[in-house]
């Protein structure tokens, strides 16, 4: 039960970050006025400029749209407790997300030379989620 609460907390934070990126990207909110810690706010010189690069898109959609979908599906899977085949398939997807995150971190640091704290937090959350989903499976 404790692992599920931890997973739901990670999902909530990840969803919030993806929602923040989405609202800023589509111009629905001012990055400075969204309720998020100042260190994580998107500025024109760091995070905000990367959301418009080609690296921030996959198959024509911004990565954070996939993030919203990922967190919603994660939430549904945690509260519905599906069969083991679905859980294991989702664990593999979670580790794929981590692998893709490693690539994106490389791009941030080496290619774009941007230090986006919010991006690093998001990728760290995804890593913790993958670990948590894996541990949860072994505990069941």
Q: Under CATH, domain 2-139 is a member of which superfamily?
A: VKOR domain (1.20.1440.130)
pLDDT at residue 52 tops 90: no
Residue 58 CB partners (closer than 8 Å, separation 6+) = 66
Q: In this structure, are residues 104 and 55 in contact, taking their beta carbons and an 8 Å threshold?
A: yes
Of 49-58, 71-80, 125-134, the least confident: 49-58
What pLDDT shows up at residue 41?
56
User: Residue ranges of the domains in the chain?
Assistant: 2-139
What pLDDT shows up at residue 74?
96
Give the tens place of pLDDT for each residue, 76-111: 999 997 888 999 999 999 999 999 999 999 999 999
**More confident site: 58 or 43:** 58
């Amino acid at each position: 039960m404790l692992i599920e609460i931890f997973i739901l907390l990670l999902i909530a934070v990840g969803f919030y970050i993806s929602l923040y990126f989405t609202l800023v990207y589509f111009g629905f909110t001012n990055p400075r006025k969204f309720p998020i810690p100042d260190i994580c706010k998107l500025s024109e010189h760091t995070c905000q400029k990367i959301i418009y690069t080609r690296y921030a898109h996959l198959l024509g959609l911004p990565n954070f749209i996939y993030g919203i979908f990922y967190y919603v599906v994660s939430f549904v899977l945690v509260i519905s407790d599906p069969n083991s085949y679905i859980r294991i398939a989702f664990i593999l997807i979670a580790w794929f997300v981590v692998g893709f995150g490693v690539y994106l971190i490389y791009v941030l640091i080496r290619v774009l030379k941007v230090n986006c704290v919010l991006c690093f937090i998001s990728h760290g959350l995804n890593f913790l989620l993958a670990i948590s989903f894996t541990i949860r499976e072994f505990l069941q």
